[in-house]
Structure 1
Amino acid sequence: MKMPETLKRLLKKIVTAEQYSRFTSMLAPNVRAKSFKFCRQFLKGKNGFEVGGPSSIFSSAGMMPLYPIVARIDNCNFSHSTTWEGDLAEGLNYHFDLHRPPGFQYIREATDLKGIESDQYDFVLSSHNIEHLANPLCALREWQRIIKPDGLLILVVPHKEGTFDHRRPITPLMHIIDDYEKGRDETDLTHLKEVLDLHDLDRDTGSASYDEFRMRSFSNFENRCIHHHVFNTEAVIDLLDNADFELLMIEPMLPCHIIAIARKTAKGKYFDNAWLKVASAAFRRLSPFVGDRRKSLDSN
C-alpha cells in the first residue's frame, strides 16, 4: 500500500521518527533494506546481543527483519524502568520474537557490560540508541569486546535530517573522542543548551510543551531521552572507523535511518575504510538525505 504524500507530510509533523518508521513498516512490510540481504547470510541461526530494544526495525515487518532468522538474542537496558520499554526485570525474559525463545535481559549501562564474557556473541544489534549515550566510543569498544572475532555489529543511527535534530550541527568526531578520553558518563549535560535551543518540538510527540521538554531534559540521567550527539552518514562512518570496526556496508534510508554493517576483525588483520571516505562513495550518490549528497555534487 502506497502512502499519499500529503499523509506522509502530516505524519512527519505529528509523530516521532520512530513512530513514523513503525507505521510505514506496517503499511509496506515488503520494504527491505539492501543491507538486510547482505547480512542475513552471516546472522541466520546465530546468537547475538541487542543494546536497547526490542526494535521495530528488526521485527518481521521491519526494514531489517533479523529477529525471525536468528537463534537467540540477549539484551541490555540501562534501568528496570525505561521510557520505551516500561518495567523490566533481569532474567531470561527478553521476548524479541514470538517464534523464538526469550533471551537473557541484563540491566546494564551500554558502556559497561560487566558480567558478560568477551568474544561471546556472533553479532551485536543497536537501533536508535547510540545517540542517547554520552560516551559512544566507550560503548562501541565495550560492544566490540563481547563480539567474536569476525562477528558483526548492526548499528542503526538516526540521520539528523529526518529527526527533531535537523536544526542542530553534526557532532565533530574530535568532540566524541574528547568525551571518551575524559571518561564522560550519563550524568553529562554538555549538550543541554544546544538541545533546548535547537530541538524541534514539532517533530517530537514525547513532550506536550516546551516546559515539559525542559524538565525532561534536565532529568536525563533518569530518562535518557536526550540525543547527546547528532549524526549524518559521514559522521557514523568516522565514528566506527575510529572505534576500529571494519565497515562492510552503509545504507542511509528514509525516513531517518543510517544502517551500518561493520565487522570486528581478527586481531592483527588489516582493514581500510578509506573507500567510504571519498567524495565518490556510492552512498553519497544514493542517499535520500541532501547533506550526504552535497559532497558528491561538490566534487563533480
Structure 2
Amino acid sequence: MPVASSPPLTLPQLKAFWRRSLQRCWQAWWLVLPGVLGRSGLEIGGPSGFFRSSGLLPIYRFVRRLDNLTFAARTVWQASAQATMTDGSPYRPVGRQAKGNQFIGEATELIRESDNSRDFVLASHVIEHVANPLRALREWLRITKPGGQMVLVIPHRDGTFDHQRPVTQLEHLRHDERAQVAESDSTHFPEIFCLHDLTRDPAAGSHEEFMQRTASNFFNRCIHHHVFDTALALRMVAEAGWRIRSVQLRRPYHILIVCSKPRDGAPLDNRCVLAQNASWRRRSPFPTDRLA
C-alpha cells in the first residue's frame, strides 16, 4: 500500500517558516546548547514561549531536568484553565511530560537552593518585575556551578509600554540593593501612572483598572519596576558578577543575554561588550541603543 505523503507547503507557509527561522537566535542557541544538553537547571517565572519549540531560543526539549520557581501558586500569566500550582508539583514547560518540580518563592531568596548546585538558570521577561534585580542576579549566580550558564531575556523599552519612561540608572539599582528593597516597593508607581502607555498594554484594561492593578502589585507582580535599554541590561549583569558571552537583540522588544559564572580564579572581563563601540550598538534594531 502506498504511503500517503504530506501536502506541500503553500507559499505563505514557506514565507512564515523562513521568517521564523531568520528571527531565531541561532548564535545564542549554539552557545547555550552545550550548557543545557542533558543537564539540570532552574527556571525563574516559567514557562516561557521564548524557550519552546516555536520560540526564538528552543531549548526546553534538550534539558534533562528543569525545576521552576514562581512567586505565587497562581499568576496572571497562567492559562485560565490551568490548575493552581502547589509547591513540589510536577513542572511541565512543554507537553505532558514533567521536566522537574514547581516551587513557590521569591526570585531574590532561593532558600532551598545550595551554592553551586545548578548547571544553568533561565529567566525570560522576569527581571523587570523584580524590585531588587541586582540581588536576584547575585542569588542566581550563587546557585550556579562555576562555568554554568544563565540565559536572561529582558524587554527593551523601545518596543514596550515603557517607551515613554526614562531608562533606569545603574546607580538606582545599586541603591535598591544596598537598601535591601523588597517586592512591596512602590517607588516607581507615580512614574508608571503618568507614563505607562496603555495603548500598548490592552490587557491592563482602563486607566482606573490599571491603577488598581498597580496598587496591588505585591500580589500580581505585573508592573515593570525598572526600564531597560541594552546598555543598562548588560551593565547590570556585569555588576552582578556574571561573564557576558553573547547579546542578541530581536524585535519587537527582546534583549537576550547569555552569560556564565566565572570559574575560580578566572578574571571577569566584560569590557568589550560594554564598550561604546561594541558591535551590538550598530546592529541593534532599537533606536535608543543607536543613539546612546
CA contact (8 A) 2:66 2:101 kept: yes
TM score, norm. by length of structure 1:
0.87
CA contact (8 A) 1:72 1:100 kept: no
Most deviating of 53-62 and 88-97: 88-97
1:28 to 4, 8, 20: 20
Provide the residue aligned with 2:196 in structure 1. Answer: 199
Q: How many residues align?
A: 275
Provide the residue aligned with 2:75 in structure 1. Answer: 82
2:215 to 200, 213, 218: 218
- Aligned-partner residue type, residue 262 of structure 2: T
Tell me the CA shift for residue 138 of structure 1. Answer: 0.7
Provide the residue aligned with 1:62 in structure 2. Answer: 55
Tell me the CA shift for residue 279 of structure 1. Answer: 2.0
CA distance in 1, matches of 2:23, 2:235: 28
- Aligned-partner residue type, residue 63 of structure 2: V
Q: Report the 3-state secondary structure (helix = DSSP H, G, I; strand = E; otherwise coil) of the residue aligned with 1:81.
A: coil
Structure 2 vs 1, CA of residues 37 and 78 (structure 1 numbering), >3 Å: closer, same or farther?
same
CA distance in 1, matches of 2:130, 2:189: 13
Tell me the CA shift for residue 166 of structure 1. Answer: 0.3
CA distance in 1, matches of 2:277, 2:88: 48
Q: Which 5+ residue runs of structure 2 have no aligned equivalent?
A: 1-10
Q: Which 5+ residue runs of structure 1 have no aligned equivalent?
A: 4-23, 296-300
What is the percentage of aligned positions where both structures have the same residue?
Answer: 41
CA RMSD of aligned residues (A): 1.9
CA distance in 1, matches of 2:264, 2:178: 23
Mapping for residues 257-276 of structure 1, pairs under 5 Å: 257-276=254-273
Mapping for residues 271-282 of structure 1, pairs under 5 Å: 271-282=268-279
Most deviating of 150-159 and 40-49: 40-49
- Give CA deviations for 1:79-136 in whole Å, capped at 9, x if unaligned: 1111112621111411012275331111010001111212111100000000000000
CA distance in 2, matches of 1:255, 1:64: 15
2:173 to 161, 171, 176: 176
Q: Report the 3-state secondary structure (helix = DSSP H, G, I; strand = E; otherwise coil) of the residue aligned with 1:91.
A: coil
Tell me the CA shift for residue 218 of structure 1. Answer: 0.4
Q: Report the 3-state secondary structure (helix = DSSP H, G, I; strand = E; otherwise coil) of the residue aligned with 2:208.
A: helix
Tell me the CA shift for residue 207 of structure 1. Answer: 1.8
Corresponding position: 1:115 with 2:128: no
Tell me the CA shift for residue 53 of structure 1. Answer: 1.1
Provide the residue aligned with 1:21 in structure 2. Answer: none
CA distance in 2, matches of 1:124, 1:190: 28
Corresponding position: 1:156 with 2:148: no
CA distance in 2, matches of 1:69, 1:137: 29
Provide the residue aligned with 1:106 in structure 2. Answer: 103
Q: Report the 3-state secondary structure (helix = DSSP H, G, I; strand = E; otherwise coil) of the residue aligned with 1:262.
A: strand
CA distance in 2, matches of 1:255, 1:38: 23
